[in-house]
Amino acid sequence: MCGIWALFGSDECLSVQCLSAMKIAHRGPDAFRFENVNGFTNCCFGFHRLAVVDQLYGMQPIRVKKFPYLWLCYNGEIYNFKQLQKQFGFEYQTLVDGEVILHLYNRGGIEQTASMLDGVFAFILLDTANRKVFLARDTYGVRPLFKVLTDDGFLGVCSEAKGLINLKHSTSLCSKVEPFLPGHYEVLDLKPSGKVTSVELVKFHSCKDEPLHAACDTVETLPSGFDLETVKSNIRILFENAVRKRLMAHRRIGCLLSGGLDSSLVAAVLLKLMKEININYPLQTFAIGMENSPDLLAARKVAAHIGSEHHEVIFNCEEGIQAIEEVIFSLETYDITTIRASIGMYLVSKYIRKKTDSVVIFSGEGSDELTQGYIYFHKAPSPEEAAEESERLLKELYLFDVLRADRTTAAHGLELRVPFLDHRFTSYYLSLPAELRIPKNGIEKYLLRQAFEDSNLLPKEILWRPKEAFSDGIASVKKSWFSILQDYIDQQVDDLLLEKAAEKYPFNPPKTKESYYYRQIFEKHYSGRSNWLPHYWMPRWVKATDPSARTLKHYKSSAQE
């Protein structure tokens, strides 16, 4: 996990512009480099490093003797760099996994490069010999990337939008800062003046398609057919493989553990594999909640069952409320459910950074979208519509859960790893018949639970624990976290302000005092940039006025039982 930043064709002094690069210093607390591009005095790279692999040669932009005309700034982890080296006979100069991007590009161009990378990534690749700039981002946008391109060809690129919004430019304000789309690469021509023009934006991978890199995966061809035992076995094999490949690190590995199905499965498989490869330190797991919250109690059970070194972070209402503004600043969004869920994750990440030496943090993001874990999936009109909704949620992860997971951990210099969003695992799960993937017997994620039923990885009551949204599970059963927030905000926002909300904020107008309060803070830091969030996250097929699972009838009836 690092922070990348680059400018092409800047009219302003670069030493002034580079102050913007410092806005993302939290992403790379270990080192910083600012480098001009030879022959292009108005082009430069900025890089904040979190050293996870190759402590010696890991600084960026990466340049190697074999390709003196290539410059690479990337944020991510490429899990198959060794397999690609073996397959194509690449001669690496460093131990940095991202070096493979240079070799792939030299061998087959940008399309093959992006398609063959098994991992999470956002990168800027400059080819001065052919005067090209390339941008690319992984399938689910696990690693963030933003860009601004003015009409006269000034390009700014950064891991977070906050590194671009204050850039200076002669002809126009840099107002059109926007997220770079996941699963895409862009080709830009670099003019002698250092300015660029966009040539094409190409979608290189869709979540349903088996990735091109599957051909050189460590897991061979899986048995075909949709009989239940085959499917369950394939799910276990691919999920275990997803966790195994993510063990690549020279820094200590830890795991977030809410006690829900997803994080518990990740923690259990992770600990099992760490033992297999003789990692000689205990796995640290981290849970957060208020006193006696459901998540704390469930996480305690899981930690005891798997034998992790467990840490509990207990916070109170005041601490949570005090964190709201810094959380919104980190997130760069005003989405209601994202902010609610981020507060706990932000506070637990802060604890990990201050009190432990774990840096590479595993988490369960992506499972709810992939395996139909949200409670509203019980109301899907048909298996086919549920499958379509699952794909929509995966495509929008970069706006919601993946955004939350990246920013809350990156704010404290941690690197997040999310095995549920492994390309091969997700494409296989989405290839299964729609009726296999829907909730059954009133239980969501039924197929995933079934797949691990006989593994003894988790206690039965955890494996079959009903869905509890992270922002709800951290509070007590009697009073949800969202109710605590609403009670506080009710005193902060006047009724008259809410009545006039649509006039003040015509795009995505706030409908509640809570959303108005978040929007005010967002506009304070990112005025006029409400289009970064196309719409609020809300459940479908139910007449929901609030995104919390605890407001849904299915949740209430389950809780009463």
> Is residue 466 within 8 Å of 295, Cβ to Cβ?
no
C-alpha closest to that of 279 among 287, 290, 271: 271
Sign of CA dihedral 97, 3, 422, 357: positive
Q: What does the pLDDT look like over 88-117, one tens digit per residue?
A: 999 999 989 999 999 999 999 999 999 999
Give the pLDDT of residue 545.
75
Q: What is the pLDDT of residues 408-466, one digit of tens each?
A: 999 999 999 999 999 999 999 999 999 999 999 999 999 999 999 999 999 999 999 88
Q: Cα separation of 507 and 226, whole Å? A: 45
Could you give the angle at the alpha carbon of 457 between the alpha carbons of 454 and 460, nearest 5°?
Answer: 65
Using DSSP bridges, classify how beta strands 415-417 and 358-362 pair: parallel, antiparallel or unpaired.
Answer: parallel
pLDDT mean over 313-333: 96
Rg (CA), the chain: 23
First to last CA, the chain: 43
Cβ burial of 13 (10 Å; 0-12, 13-18, 19+) is exposed
Q: CA 436, 245, 232: angle at the middle one, nearest 5?
A: 20
Quote the longest CA-to-CA distance of the chain: 70
Residue type at 276 in one-letter notation: E
Is 30 known as a binding-site position? no
Does the annotation list 97 as a binding residue? yes
Residue 163 has pLDDT above 70, yes or no: yes
Angle between helices 324-331 and 336-355 in degrees, nearest 10: 100
d(CA 197, CA 188) in angstroms, rounded, equals 5
The pLDDT-based confidence of 45 (bands split at 50, 70, 90) is very high
Residue 72 counted as an annotated binding residue? no
24 is in an annotated binding site: no
**Integer Cα distance of 437 and 384 in angstroms:** 10
**What percentage of residues in the chain have a pLDDT greater than 70?**
93
DSSP state of 29: B
- 2 flagged as catalytic: yes
Average pLDDT over the chain reads 92
> Which pLDDT does position 560 carry in this prediction?
42
Rounded to 5 degrees, φ, ψ at 6 are -155, 150
Tens-place pLDDT, residues 480-514:
888 889 999 999 999 999 999 999 999 999 999 99
Phi-psi region of 76 (alpha: psi -120 to 50; beta: other; left: phi over 0): left
Known binder of ligand: residue 181? no
When pLDDT is averaged across residues 143-164 and rounded to a whole number, the result is 96
Chain centroid to Cα 124, Å, comes to 18
Q: Is the peptide bond before 294 cis (omega within 30 degrees of 0)?
A: no
Catalytic residue among 2, 43, 44, 73: 2
Instruction: Give the residues across from 187 on adjacent strands.
Output: 134, 200
Domains detected in the chain: 3-203 (3.60.20.10), 238-485 (3.40.50.620)
**DSSP β-bridge partners for residue 40:** 37
| pLDDT band at 174; cut points 50, 70, 90 | low
